[in-house]
Amino acid sequence: MKLVPSLVRQGVKSQAAALSESDKRLIDVCSASPDAALSGLDSSRDGLSIELAEAVRKRYGFNALTKKEKKFFVFDIIGRFKNPLAIQLLVIGGISLWMGDVRSAVVVGGMVLLSVILSYVQETRSGKAVEELQKMVQSNTLVIRGGKETEIPTVELVPGDVVVLQAGAIIPADLRVISAKDFFLSQSALTGESMPIEKTAELAGEPPKSVIELPNACFQGSYVVSGTARGVAVNTGERTYLGSISAKLSGEKTQTSFDRGIEGFTWLMIKFMVVMVSLVFLIVGLTKHNWLDALVFAMSVAVGLTPEMLPMILTVNLSKGALVMSKKKVIVKRLSSIQNFGAIDILCTDKTGTITQDRIVLEKFVDVTNRPSDDVLRYAYMNSYYQTGLRNLLDRSILSHTDLDVERSCSKVDEIPFDFQRKRMSVIIEYEGSHVMITKGSVEDIYSACGSYQLDDEVLPLIDVIKRDLMEEYERLSKNGYRVLAVAYKEFPKDKTVFSTKDEEDLVLLGYLAFFDPPKDSSAKALAALGRMGVAVKILTGDNELVTQKICGDVGLDAKNVITGGQLTGLDEAALGKAAEEHTVFARLSPAQKEQIISSLQKAGHVVGYMGDGINDAPALNLADVGISVDTAVDVAKESADIILLEKSLMVLEDGIIEGRRVFGNIVKYIKMGASSNFGNMFSVVGGSYFLPFLPMAPIQILMNNLLYDISQTGIPMDNVDDEYIAKPKKWNIDNIKKFMLFIGPMSSIFDYATYFLMLYFFGCIAFKTGGPNGPYLEKLFHTGWFVESLLTQTFIVYIIRTKKIPFLQSVPAMPMVFTTVLVILVGIFLPYSRFSDKFGFVPLPAVYWLWMTGFMLAYAVLTHGMKVWFYKKFGDD
C-alpha cells in the first residue's frame, strides 16, 4: 500500500465511541503486563515456533488490508461475463436465438467466449509477471521465531509474532510494546499529528479516550522515527485499526491522472455511442418498418462502437512497460504510475546520492581554532554510536573513520532524538562519574545552544567575536562543498536520569566535523539529458545554501539564486507558487516545506516526481504525482513510493521516463484509432441506414468486423514509438483526442460512401429495389463489399495514425503489429471466398472490386496522411 495521506484529512475520525472487537482485544492486551500479554497470545519473548506461526496464519489469514482475492480461474472467467459489453453481446445472441437465427446466436456466443478467454489469458499472464516484479521490493519484517531473529514477508506476520523495530521501520500490524528504548513513532498517517510520539512498554495510567491513544500500542501505518523496541502482534490485516478504516475507504480511491484520462475517453465514447445508437434505431425502425431488426442492428452498432479491447490493451501495455523497465533497474509498484512517470515535467530530489556519489568522507575533525582534535572525533563517535535513530550517511562516515571501544569507558543513559525544528540530536552517557550530554547537529543550531567553548582543557565564554570567526570558517568550508556539523557537550549530576530538549542549553562548543561528498561524474550528463527530455530538475535539500550552491553549480544546475526554507516561511500561496516556479535549488528545507513546494508546482499544472529515501521523505513521496525511491531506502520511503530504483542514479531515472512515455504513446495510438474509427463509422452507418434500401451490413457482420479489427490492434502494445514523441513529457489531453476524432474520423466516411455508391451503381446492387430472384444476392454482395472495405481501411490506417511521420519510410512499425494487421487483412480478403462464407452472409467479390479497393486504400492513406500533417501543425500532439 502507498501510505495514505492523513486519514484525519480524509474525514475519518477517532473511534472514541463504539469499540470493535479488535479494539477491545488490543486494549485488553495493553492492559496486561508484557509477559502476561505474551502469554495471552500463546507467545513468549522467544516468539512463536515456526509450526505454531503457520497454524495461527491458517486461523487468521494473511496480514493484508482489504484486497480483491484471487478467484479460481473458472470463476474468474465466469465473472468476466458480467462485463457490460459481454452482457450486450449475450442479449443480442439471445434475441437472435429467439428469432430463430441459431447461426447468429452461435457466432455471437463464440465471440463472447473468445473475447473473455483472450482477455483472461492476456491479463493473467501480465498480472503474474508484474507480481513477480513487485516481490522484488516487497516489504519485510524482522521477527523473533524460535528464539532467532528472522526476516519474513510482512504479509506472513501473525498475531503472537514478536516484532523487532528500529528507526525507519513501518509498523506492520497493531502491536503491544513489550520493551522499548527511546522509542518514537510518527502516527501522522493515522492522526494528522506531525510530531513524533513516544511509546513505552509501561501500562497506561488512565484509560485512553480512544484506542489510538494507547501509550504502549503501535498501529499499522505508523513508522519508527527513532529508538528501538520489540512488540507482539495483536491484530493483523483487516482487524487492525488501519484495516477498519481502509474497509470504510475502500470505495474512495484517489484517481490518478491516468485514471482520469481513461475515464474521460470512456465517457466521450459513451456519449457518441448513445447518440448514434439512438439515431440508428430510430432511422432503421422508421425506414425499414421492423423495430425488432432495428433493435438488433442498433445493439450490434453499439458493440462496434465500443472499444472493448481497451482494458486488455491497457493491461498489456502497462505490464509490458513494467517488464521492460525492470530490465533497466526500475521496479513499478503501481502500474498506473507508468503514465505519470512519462508525464513528469519537474523532478524534485535531494542532492545526496542523486547528483553526488553518496560516499561521504569525514575530512576534518577540529576544535574552534581549526586544529585537529581527537576529542571532537571521540565525542562525535559516541553520539553516533549510541543514537538509536536511523543512522544517516554522516553517522556512518564517523563510525567507519575510527573504531573506539566506547562501552568499556561509558554507558548510555538517555537520548533526545533528532527533529527538524531543532536540527540536532543528543545522547546522554555516563562518563567518568558524570552524566554527559553530547549534542551533534547543524552549525547554526548548535552555536545558538552554546554559551561557551572549550580550547584544550580550558572552557571560555563564546563571545560574538569568536562566533563570527567560527561562522566565517563554516561558510568557507560550505562554499567549497563541505558539509559541516558542530559538536558540543554539557555535564550533569549523576542523579539526573531524565532529559528533554530544555536541557540543550548553555552547551560547551567542542569543535566541528567537515564531510565531503563529491558530485558524480555522470550527474552533469544525466541532468542535461533530462533537460532535453523536458524534465526540469529541482533540488530540495535540508543542507545549507552554501554547500548546496557549490555542489549544484558543479553539475551545471542554476544555483545562483538559492532560496532557503527561512525565506519561504510566511509566504502566502501566490508568492510560494512563484518562488517554486522560478527557483531551481532550495536549501534548509523542512519536510513540510518540501510538501508545500510540490503542492504549489502541482497547482501550477505540473506533473511532479519526487525522489527520496529517508524517513522525512515519506510525506513528499505520498504527495507527488510519482513517488520514486530506491531499494536501499528505509521501509517507510519504499512503501510510500510508486517506483523503486535498483540503483540511485538519474541515468536510471532517465531510462524509466523514456519507457513511461513509450507506454503512454502506444495507449494513445489505440485510443486515437478507436475514437476516429468509431466517429467515422457513425457518419457511415447513420447515412447508410437512412438512404439504403436495406441495412448497410448484417448485425453478425458488424460483430465479425469489430472482432477482427480488435484482434488487429492487439499488436499495438509491442509497437515502436518515434523518438520525437518521447522527447518531451506527454499528458492526457482529451480535448486534443476529440479534435483528432472530428478531423480524422470523417476521412473514412468519404471512402465508406464511395464504396456504397460503387456497390450500388457499378456492381448493380441498386437493382435490389426492383426485387426478383437476384435481390438477396445483391444485398449480400453489398454487405460483403462494404464489410471488406471497412475492415481493410480501418485496419490499414493504423500505420498512418501511429506516427506523425511518413509511414514505413520515416517510421517503421514493430513486427508484432505488422503481423496482427496483415493477418486480419488476409482473413478479411479470404472470408468471402471461404467454405463458410454463407454462414456470415458473404458472397465472392468480382475481381475488378480489388482494383477499386486498391485505389481506395491508396487514396485513403494519402488523404488521411495529409489531414494528419495539417492537424499536428494546427493543434500539436499534446
- Please report the DSSP string for 534-580 in residue order: T-EEEEE-SS-HHHHHHHHHHTT---TT-EEHHHHTT--HHHHHHHH
User: 208 vs 3, which has greater pLDDT?
Assistant: 208
Contact 225, 184 (CB under 8 A): yes
Task: Decide which of 729 and 247 is more confident.
Answer: 729
Tell me the backbone φ, ψ of residue 737, rounded to 5 degrees: -65, -40
pLDDT at 460: 92
- Residue 788 Ramachandran class (φ > 0 left, ψ -120 to 50 alpha, else beta): alpha
CA 30 to CA 564: how far, in whole Å? 45
Element (H, E) at 179: strand 174-186
Quote the pLDDT of residue 163: 95
pLDDT band at residue 267 using 50, 70 and 90 as cut-offs = confident
Chain segment 464-494, per-residue pLDDT in tens: 888 888 889 899 998 888 889 999 999 999 9
Amino acid 484 reads V
pLDDT at 727 over 80: yes
* Higher per-residue confidence, 563 vs 353: 563
Instruction: Please check the confidence at residue 789 and state whether its pLDDT lies above 60.
Output: yes
Over residues 272-301, the pLDDT tens digits come to 778 878 888 888 888 878 887 787 777 767
Q: What is the pLDDT of residues 762-788, one digit of tens each?
A: 888 876 655 555 678 888 999 999 999
- Note the pLDDT of residue 252: 42
How does strand 162-166 pair with strand 536-540? Answer: unpaired
Q: Can you tell me which residue has the cell 479534435?
A: 739
* Res. 832 pLDDT band, cuts 50 70 90: very high
Joined together, the cell numbers standing for residue 314 give 491497457
Backbone phi and psi for residue 61, each to the nearest 5 degrees, phi listed first = 85, -175
What is the distance between the alpha carbons of residues 416 and 789, in angstroms, rounded to a whole number? 78
- Residue appearing with cell numbers 480512544: 210
All cell numbers assigned to 276:
448514434
Asked whether 840 and 107 are in contact (CB, 8 A), the reply is yes
Orientation angle between helical segments 650-691 and 257-288, nearest 10 degrees: 10
pLDDT band at 407 (very low <50, low <70, confident <90, very high): confident
Query: 542-574: buried (b, 16+ CB within 10 Å) or exposed (e) per residue?
Result: bbbbbbbbbbbbbbebebeebbbbeebeebeee
Q: When comparing pLDDT for 17 and 460, which is higher?
A: 460
Grid coordinates in use for 186?
Answer: 510518527
Helices 775-796 and 734-757: crossing angle in degrees, nearest 10, is: 150
The letter for the amino acid at 576 is L
Identify the top-confidence range among 229-233, 408-412, 565-569, 772-776. 229-233
Coil/strand/helix, residue 148:
strand
CB 866 within 8 A of CB 747: no
713: left (phi over 0), alpha (psi -120 to 50) or beta: alpha
Query: In degrees rounded to 5, what are phi and psi of residue 811?
Result: -145, 115
Is position 635 annotated as part of the catalytic site?
Answer: no
Burial class (CB in 10 A: 0-12, 13-18, 19+), 453: buried
Q: What is the mean pLDDT of residues 329-341?
A: 82
How many whole angstroms from its chain centre is CA 196?
27
Out of 151-160, 727-736, 826-835, least confident range: 727-736
Q: Which grid coordinates are listed for 821?
A: 494487421
Q: End-to-end alpha-carbon separation of the chain, Å?
A: 32
CB 175 within 8 A of CB 191: no
For the chain, what is the radius of gyration of the CA atoms?
34
Q: What is the mean pLDDT of residues 109-115?
A: 71
Whether the predicted pLDDT of 800 surpasses 60: yes
Q: Bridge partners of 153?
A: 140
For 441, the grid coordinates are 547537529
Looking at residue 16, its pLDDT comes to 40
| pLDDT score of 70 | 53
What percent of the chain has a predicted confidence (pLDDT) above 90? 33
pLDDT reported for residue 568: 92
Evaluate if residue 361 carries a pLDDT over 60: yes
Residue ranges in 136-158 assigned as alpha helix (H): none
Please tell me the predicted confidence (pLDDT) of residue 247: 54
3-state secondary structure (DSSP) of residue 519: strand
Spatial CB neighbours of 76, under 8 Å, sequence gap ≥ 6 = 70, 120, 124
Choose among 741, 753, 761: nearest CA to 871: 741
- Out of 263-277, 476-490, 620-634, the most confident range is 476-490
Nearest to 700 by CA among 849, 847, 831, 850: 831
**Class of residue 512 by CB neighbours under 10 A (exposed 0-12, middle 13-18, buried 19+):** buried
Using CA atoms, how far apart are residues 152 and 287, in angstroms rounded to an integer?
70
Q: What is the pLDDT of residues 61-89, one digit of tens each?
A: 888 865 545 555 565 666 666 666 667 66
Query: What is the structure's pLDDT at 3?
Result: 45
Cell of 325: 523497465
Q: Identify the weakest region by mean pLDDT among 353-357, 387-391, 594-598.
A: 387-391
575-601 pLDDT tens trace: 999 999 999 999 988 888 999 999 999
Degrees, nearest 5: CA angle 585-440-508: 125
State the CB neighbour count (10 A cutoff) for residue 582. Answer: 9
Of 161, 345, 350, 395, which residue is the catalytic one? 350
Q: Distance between CA 288 and CA 257 in Å, rounded?
A: 45
The predicted pLDDT at position 112 comes to 72
- Report CA 79 to chain centroid distance, whole Å: 27
Quick one: average pLDDT of 680-686?
A: 81
DSSP letter for each residue of 804-823? SS-BTTTBPPPHHHHHHHHH
Write the single-letter amino acid at 186.
S
Q: Is the whole model's pTM more than 0.85, yes or no? A: no
Q: Is 254 exposed, middle or buried (0-12, 13-18, 19+ CB in 10 A)?
A: exposed
Enter the C-alpha cell of residue 175. 502491536
Q: Which amino acid is at 387?
A: Q
867's grid cell: 489531414
- Cell numbers that stand for 427 in this block: 545522547
pLDDT of residue 834: 93
Q: Average of pLDDT values for 435-444?
A: 94
Confidence of residue 824 (pLDDT cuts 50, 70, 90): very high
In single-letter form, the type of residue at position 428 comes to I
Q: If you average pLDDT over every residue of the chain, what do you get? A: 83
DSSP string, 765-785: GGGGGG-STTHHHHHHHHHHH
Closest listed residue to residue 711, CA positions, set 554, 603, 828, 876: 828
